[in-house]
Structure 1
Amino acid sequence: MSGAILAHARSDQHDRLLDVQEPLAGLHLRCGGELPGTIAVPELLSLTRQVRLTGLPVAGMVGAQDGSDAIAMWVEAEPDGPGCAIRIRSWRATPLIAEEGAIAEQRRAETDRHLAELTAWLDSGQRVMAVTTDVPELAGVAAAMQGGAGRSWTDFLAPENVTHAQPLHWRLLDGAPVTVPGSSRDWRVTLIPQMRPGFEPEGFELLLLSDQAPAVGEPAPLPAPVAARRGLVGRDLAPVLQQPIARIVANAETIRTRLAGPLPDAYADYAGEIASAGKLLLSLLEDMADLEVVEDEGFATTADSIDLAEVARQAVGILGVRAREKDITLDAPPCGPEAPALAEFRRVLQILLNLIGNAIRYSPEKSRISVNVSSEGAHVCAIVSDEGPGLSPEQQARVFEKFERLGRSGDGGSGLGLYISRRLARAMGGDLGVESMPGQGARFILTVPADPEG
C-alpha cells in the first residue's frame, strides 16, 4: 500500500515501544501502556511479534479501541535489528455505535489472546510460519510445528470430526475442536485473519485454547465413572452449536447496523432481536458447559503466578465499552504496586468479567463501579463495588445458589454465573463473598492465595 507515512515507531526484542510518534503514541498510552513499554494495542503486539519471530515483513489493518471510537490503521512492520520498524500509513476513527459488531469480535479476540496457551502465525494458505508457547505440555507440538514450517497447521493439530481434505476454508475451522498429540485435555482453535479491505486474508493468527486446567505432575487414570462422564454440553453440544450461533449473531449485527446496505427500521429492529437472542443462547451454552466442568469430580485448577491487579485492569478494559453504553463510570485498579497471587489466570479473569458484567447490568445509568485490589494476610482480594440497588441479608444468603436469579426475569441471565464463580474461587484455594445493604450498592469480594515469592 502506498501513501504518506503518518507515524513511525520502533520496538525491541521484547516487543516494547522505544520510539513512537503521534497518533500511535497517544493511543498506546490511552490503552494503558508506558513509554518505553510493552505494546499495549493487542493486534499491533501480535503483528510485531510475528515479524520478530518470522523475520519477514508484514502489513495489514490493525484495529483498536480508543475511548468512544474504533480505530482502524494500516500498519507496515519489518525486521529492524532484534526488533521491528513500524510505519502507520492510514488512520480511521469511527464512533463505536457504527462498529459494534466489529468491536465485539475484537473484544473476543483480545480475551482469547490472553487465554491462549500456544500462538502460531500462518500464511494466506494456513501454512505454519512461526510458533510460540511457554506451556511445557505443548512444547512437543510447538517444536513439531516450528520444524514443519511451510506445512498446514492441521498436520499438527488435527480438527476433530472433519473428514474433508485439508485445509478447509478458515471460517469453517475457526472455533473447531482439535486433537493435541500427547494431551488428554480438550482443545479448540481460534483463527484471527489479517485482513486487507476487499481482499482475502493475507495470513492468520492461530490461538490454541483449552477450557480445562493442565494436569499437575503425571496424569493419574480417572476413575471409571468420571472418565465415562465426558459432559454432553461442554464436550459434545457446545462446540457444535457455538460456531453457527456466532455466525448468526455476526450476520444479524451486520444487518442491524446497516453495514450491508440500507434497511427499513423495522427490519433492523428484527435483526437486533435475532442478535440478542443469539447472544443469550451463546451465554447459556457457556454457562452450562462451565457448570459441567466445575461439578466434575476430577475438576482442578492451576496455580499460575499472576498479578491480580493487572488481571483486574484487563477485565475492566474488556468491559469498558459496555459500561460506557450505560453511561457508567468504570474505575480500574491504579497502576502501581503489584498484587502477586497464585491462581489460574483464565479462571480469575472469568470470575472478574462475571462480577463486573453483573454490576454493569444491574447498576443505574450515570453511576460508578470501582474495582480495587488489596492484601489480607495470606490472600489478596479483588473487590467489585457498585451503586446498584443492593441486596438484603436474605438475598445475600441465596445469591450464590445454582439457578438463583433473585426473582429477576427478562435480563438474559441463567442464574449460574455467581454459583460457578464461587466454585472456581474455592477450587483455587480462595473464596467469593458479598457485602451489601439495600439501596447502598454491593461489594463482591474475590480472594485468592497470595504468592509468597511475588
Structure 2
Amino acid sequence: MVLAGTAVLARARTDGADRMVEADELLAGLQRRCGGDMPGTVAVPQLLEVVRKSRNLGLRLARTIEALDGDEIVRAWIEVLPGDDGCLVEVINWSATPRPPETDHEAAARRIAIDRDMADLTARLDPEQRPLTVEVNAPDLAEFERALQQGGGQPWTASVTFTDLAERRPAHWRLLDGARCRVPGSSRDWTVTLVPLGRPEPGSAGFELLLVADAPLPEVQLAPPEQASLPPGFGRELTPVLRQPIARIIANAETIRARLAGPLADEYSDYAADIATAGQHLLSMIEDLSDLEVVEAEGFTTAPDSIDLADVARRAVGILGVRARAKDITLITPDGQHQPAIGEFRRVLQVLLNLVGNAINYSPAGSAVTLSLGRDGERALVTVGDEGPGLSPEQQGRVFEKFERLGRGSEGGSGLGLYISRRLARAMGGDLTVESVPGSGARFTLAVPASD
C-alpha cells in the first residue's frame, strides 16, 4: 500500500485483455523500448505477470519488477490495483543501473538455448559424430531423417552439403559449429549448432546436433473448395484445444523478437517475427473454421438489437489502429455521426473488423481507409473503402466464395472471412456487397435493417 506522502512517479492503466491503454511517459517509454505499442499488450514480462495475477485474483499486489531497457537494467517497485475492466499500475520507486557485460560463456549458453527452441532437427551423436537418435519437426527433413537412420555407421556430415566450407568432412567439430549446409529433401538452407558433451575433453561423450532453418517453410495453400472436407464439429472442437498452445507460441516468439530476454542477433529476431506471424495466421484460420461451422449450421440465427453503426465503425477502427499505423495507413471514421440500425453488435463488429483488416492488408503505405455511413430505403449502410489495387469484374464475382483469398496477390488468410461476413450480414436481414475499379481501390458495403 502507498503510504501517505509517498510520491507516485508514474501511472498506467490496462484493460481487460492486459493491454496498456494509457500511461505516463516513464512507463509508456519503457513499454515502447521493450517492443510494445500504445495501446498494446504489456511488454515487460514481469509487469505483465503481476497485472494478470491482480486482474484474475481481484487483489491489490505490490512487488519489485525488473526489465532490460537497452544497456540498463530497470528495477521498480510497483503497485497494481484491479478495477472493473483492467488495472491501475502505480510506480513508487524506480532505478536504472548499467547492465553488466555478458561473458563469453553466457553468450554461448544463450545462443544454444535459442537454437534449441528454434531447431527443426535435434540429434544425439557419438564422439565420431555418428547419429544415435534423431528427432525432426519439419516435413522437409523427413528424407534427411531417413538418411541419418540408414547411414550405416557414417557420420552425419556424409549426408549433407556444406555451402561455406571447402572440406566435405571437416576434421574438427569447431569448424562445423555455425556452418551452413543443404540437406536432401529440403530447399531451405540450414545453420548447424554442435554442442560438445563430456569433460574435460569437449566431445568425449558425443555431441548434440541442432539444425536451424534460415527461412520458414513456404505457406501451405488450402485445398480448393471441392477438395475441402471436414467432419462435423471439427472447428468448434479444435479451436479451444489449439488456442492456448498457439497463443503461447506467439507470446514466446514475440518475447524473442522484442529482445526482452537480452541482446539477440538480427537474424534470430527476424525468424522469431516470422514464427509469431505464422502463429497469428494459424490462429485466425482456426477461428475461421469454427465460425464457418456456426454460420453454416442449420437454423443459425443472430440476436438482433438496436445498435449505432457509427459507434461500431469507430470501435473497429480503434481496435485496428495500431496495425494501420504500422503500415502508415490513415483510418478515417464517421466522427460525430450516428446511424441507428438493427443487428447483433458483436457480429456487426466482426464483419467490420474483417473489412477494415482486409483494407489495411491490401492498401499501400501512405494511403487512407475510409469508413462512411449511408442509408438506402429501409437499410442502414456502412462502407469501407481503400486505395489498393482494386478488383476486376471477374474477381468481384468470386470474392465472397468460400476459400477465395480476395484474388489480390499471395497475401490473405483462410479465404473464409468475406464468405462468413456475407453469411452473417444476410442472417441479420442485410447484405454485403462490393464495388471496385481496378487500380482505384475497392468499396465493401455492409447493409443491415435501419432503425428510426
Q: Same-fold call, TM > 0.5?
A: yes
The farther-off stretch of 267-276 and 197-206 is: 197-206
Write the letter of the residue equivalent to 1:63.
M
Q: Indicate the residue corresponding to 1:244 in structure 2.
A: 245
In structure 1, C-alpha distance between the alignment counterparts of 2:333 and 2:318, rounded to whole Å: 8
Contact 2:406 2:412 survives alignment (8 Å): no
SS at match of 2:28: strand
How far off its partner does 1:264 sit? 1.2
How far off its partner does 1:405 sit? 1.8
How far off its partner does 1:231 sit? 1.4
Contact 1:101 1:254 survives alignment (8 Å): no
How far off its partner does 1:376 sit? 2.1
How far off its partner does 1:251 sit? 1.0
Q: Indicate the residue corresponding to 2:387 in structure 1.
A: 387
Q: Indicate the residue corresponding to 2:362 in structure 1.
A: 362
In structure 1, C-alpha distance between the alignment counterparts of 2:29 and 2:381, rounded to whole Å: 37
How far off its partner does 1:358 sit? 0.4
How far off its partner does 1:127 sit? 5.8
Q: Indicate the residue corresponding to 2:123 in structure 1.
A: none
How far off its partner does 1:4 sit? 3.5
How far off its partner does 1:349 sit? 0.5
Count of residues in correspondence between the two structures: 286
> Deviation string for 1:23-57 (max 9, x for gaps)?
99xxxxxxxxxxxxxxxx873xx79xxxxxxxxxx
How far off its partner does 1:126 sit? 5.3
In structure 2, C-alpha distance between the alignment counterparts of 1:73 and 1:239, rounded to whole Å: 37
Residue 202 and residue 244 in structure 1: after superposition, are their counterparts in 2 closer, same or farther (change >3 A)?
farther
Q: Indicate the residue corresponding to 2:284 in structure 1.
A: 283
How far off its partner does 1:429 sit? 0.5
Q: Indicate the residue corresponding to 1:421 in structure 2.
A: 421
Residue 206 and residue 95 in structure 1: after superposition, are their counterparts in 2 closer, same or farther (change >3 A)?
closer
In structure 2, C-alpha distance between the alignment counterparts of 1:409 and 1:195, rounded to whole Å: 50
How far off its partner does 1:406 sit? 4.5
The farther-off stretch of 90-99 and 267-276 is: 90-99
SS at match of 1:305: strand
Q: Indicate the residue corresponding to 1:328 in structure 2.
A: 329
Q: Identify the match of residue 28 of structure 2 among 79, 86, 92.
A: 92
SS at match of 2:434: strand
Residue 195 and residue 435 in structure 1: after superposition, are their counterparts in 2 closer, same or farther (change >3 A)?
farther
Does structure 1 residue 4 correspond to structure 2 residue 15? no
In structure 2, C-alpha distance between the alignment counterparts of 1:194 and 1:320, rounded to whole Å: 31
How far off its partner does 1:304 sit? 1.5
Q: Indicate the residue corresponding to 1:347 in structure 2.
A: 347
How far off its partner does 1:205 sit? 6.5
Contact 2:324 2:330 survives alignment (8 Å): yes
Q: Indicate the residue corresponding to 2:20 in structure 1.
A: 63
| Identical amino acids, percent of aligned pairs | 56
Q: Indicate the residue corresponding to 1:233 in structure 2.
A: 235
Contact 1:390 1:439 survives alignment (8 Å): yes
Residue 104 and residue 401 in structure 1: after superposition, are their counterparts in 2 closer, same or farther (change >3 A)?
farther
How far off its partner does 1:288 sit? 0.6
In structure 1, C-alpha distance between the alignment counterparts of 2:328 and 2:62, rounded to whole Å: 32
Write the letter of the residue equivalent to 1:247.
R
Q: Indicate the residue corresponding to 1:14 in structure 2.
A: none
> Deviation string for 1:164-206 (max 9, x for gaps)?
xxxxxxxxxxxxxxxxxxxxxxxxxxxxx98976389765868
Contact 1:252 1:274 survives alignment (8 Å): yes
> Deviation string for 1:376-412 (max 9, x for gaps)?
2211111001111111111111100000125456424
Write the letter of the residue equivalent to 1:4.
A
How far off its partner does 1:105 sit? 3.6
> Deviation string for 1:68-114 (max 9, x for gaps)?
xxx4359xxxxxxxxxxxxxxx65345757434785547xxxxxxxx
Contact 2:390 2:439 survives alignment (8 Å): yes
Runs of 4+ in 1 over 3 A off after TM superposition: 1-7, 71-74, 90-106, 122-129, 193-197, 199-207, 406-410
Residue 260 and residue 230 in structure 1: after superposition, are their counterparts in 2 closer, same or farther (change >3 A)?
same
Write the letter of the residue equivalent to 1:327.
D
Residue 316 and residue 271 in structure 1: after superposition, are their counterparts in 2 closer, same or farther (change >3 A)?
same
Residue 42 and residue 422 in structure 1: after superposition, are their counterparts in 2 closer, same or farther (change >3 A)?
farther
In structure 2, C-alpha distance between the alignment counterparts of 1:411 and 1:364, rounded to whole Å: 13
Contact 1:194 1:204 survives alignment (8 Å): no
Identify unmatched segments of 5+ residues in structure 2. 43-51, 66-77, 87-230
Residue 93 and residue 123 in structure 1: after superposition, are their counterparts in 2 closer, same or farther (change >3 A)?
closer
Q: How does 1:283-302 map to 2 (within 5 A)?
A: 283-302=284-303
The TM-score with structure 2 as length reference comes to 0.56
Write the letter of the residue equivalent to 2:440.
Q
Write the letter of the residue equivalent to 2:368.
R
Write the letter of the residue equivalent to 1:342.
I
Residue 194 and residue 295 in structure 1: after superposition, are their counterparts in 2 closer, same or farther (change >3 A)?
farther
SS at match of 1:341: strand
SS at match of 2:331: strand
SS at match of 1:444: strand
Q: Identify the match of residue 72 of structure 1 among 23, 34, 38.
A: 23
Write the letter of the residue equivalent to 1:258.
R
Q: Indicate the residue corresponding to 1:303 in structure 2.
A: 304
SS at match of 1:92: helix
Q: Indicate the residue corresponding to 2:373 in structure 1.
A: 373
Q: How does 1:101-120 map to 2 (within 5 A)?
A: 103-105=39-41
In structure 2, C-alpha distance between the alignment counterparts of 1:196 and 1:298, rounded to whole Å: 52
How far off its partner does 1:321 sit? 1.2
Write the letter of the residue equivalent to 2:270.
D
Identify unmatched segments of 5+ residues in structure 1. 8-22, 25-40, 48-60, 65-70, 75-89, 107-121, 130-192, 208-228
Contact 2:19 2:39 survives alignment (8 Å): no
SS at match of 1:266: helix
